[in-house]
Amino acid sequence: MANLLEQLRAMTVVVADTGDMEAMEKFRPQDATTNPSLITAASQMPQYQSIVDGVLIDALKELGDSADPKEVANLGFKRLAVAFGKKILKIVPGRVSTEVDARLSYDTEATIAQAREIIDQYDQAGIGRDRVLIKIASTWEGIKAAEVLEKEGIHCNLTLLFGLHQAIACAEAGVTLISPFVGRILDWYKKDTGKDYQGADDPGVKSVTTIFNYYKKFGYKTVVMGASFRNIGEIKELAGSDLLTISPQLLGELAAAEGELPRKLDPEAAKAMDIEKIAIDHDTFVKMHTADRMATDKLKEGIEGFSAALEKLETLLAKRITELEPVAAQ
């Protein structure tokens, strides 16, 4: 019998949730996702120092010797995620997700502008838009930005998604893909209730299952990519999801595990379910979000966490620039 990873691939697109390209080469996923925390971690790995240095040296040369190091770091920072993305696309046959600055999560226009900058870098590298997803936080402002971008042919991955209201708003906006965070939902409920959850009782699993069935019931084109897993039990309960993005550690556990993996999510079964359709406008979104303590807490926490990772990365880049200035001057 095939291992669990091979069985999963037969019904779900498997995506690698990492900035570590060696892990991607090992597991050969269809797609790859990155986020500020993953890029920051990868940037500190010796094997990827050449990518970081190349971006910074180009930024130094472009801005000139008199440029403020912070300005150089900021330009390098804007280009680093794309530099990783371009390398990743040489490994995976499908798409890479590159994230907009999390600090812009409540600014629709700034999110649109940075997304266009990111896609322009890929365009200039000759990489088609069908191979890139722009990651944006699932705030109301982020969803509205994605709605504009999708109409321009810029495909979006709406991340930090914790509630059905966010998912419905994304689908109504015509977003390409959403990334509901399974493990972070579990974390919140364990802390809030003091209980442990297993299998289908996992609140994160329940949330993604509800979203998947809602989408398939009403025929939305937006696809569901479960993310942020804490164990392979969560992954097994979501077998059949459109996509799942999985860390290298859990990919390894799935590859080493044997046994039968039954399909848990079925589009055809969802179509026959009795599900109420919900109309989402701004006021309804805000009302539902405010009423959902978990979604409110985790969205805020996620944006703050990614923002902190970006600030750490900017500090690391600024420090590295002082070491590289003599090299760039040659």
Measured CA to CA in angstroms, residue 263 lies from 7, 55, 128 at distances of 10, 44, 33
pLDDT at 205 over 90: yes
pLDDT tens digits, one per residue of 140-194: 999 999 999 999 999 999 999 999 999 999 999 999 999 999 999 999 999 999 9
Of the chain, the end-to-end C-alpha distance in Å amounts to: 58
Report whether 289 contacts 163 (CB < 8 A): yes
pLDDT tens digits, one per residue of 79-127: 999 999 999 999 999 999 999 999 999 999 999 999 999 999 999 999 9
The pLDDT score that the predictor gives to residue 327 is: 56
Output the domain CATH number for residue 121.
3.20.20.70
pLDDT at 330 over 60: no
pLDDT tens digits, one per residue of 277-297: 999 999 999 999 999 999 999
The pLDDT score that the predictor gives to residue 74 is: 80
The pLDDT score that the predictor gives to residue 325 is: 64
Number of domains in the chain: 1
Cβ neighbors of 246 (< 8 A, separation 6 or more) are 14, 15, 16, 17, 229, 235, 254
Range of the domain at 180: 4-328
Q: What is the pTM of this model?
A: 0.92
Counting residues of the chain whose pLDDT is more than 90, the rounded percentage is 78
Mean of pLDDT values over 45-60? 90
Q: Which residues are catalytic?
A: 135
pLDDT at 328 over 70: no
Mean of per-residue pLDDT scores for the chain: 94
Counting residues of the chain whose pLDDT is more than 70, the rounded percentage is 98
The pLDDT score that the predictor gives to residue 296 is: 98
Residue 42 pLDDT level (bands cut at 50, 70, 90): confident
At 46, list the tokens. 């010796």
The pLDDT score that the predictor gives to residue 35 is: 80
The pLDDT score that the predictor gives to residue 1 is: 82
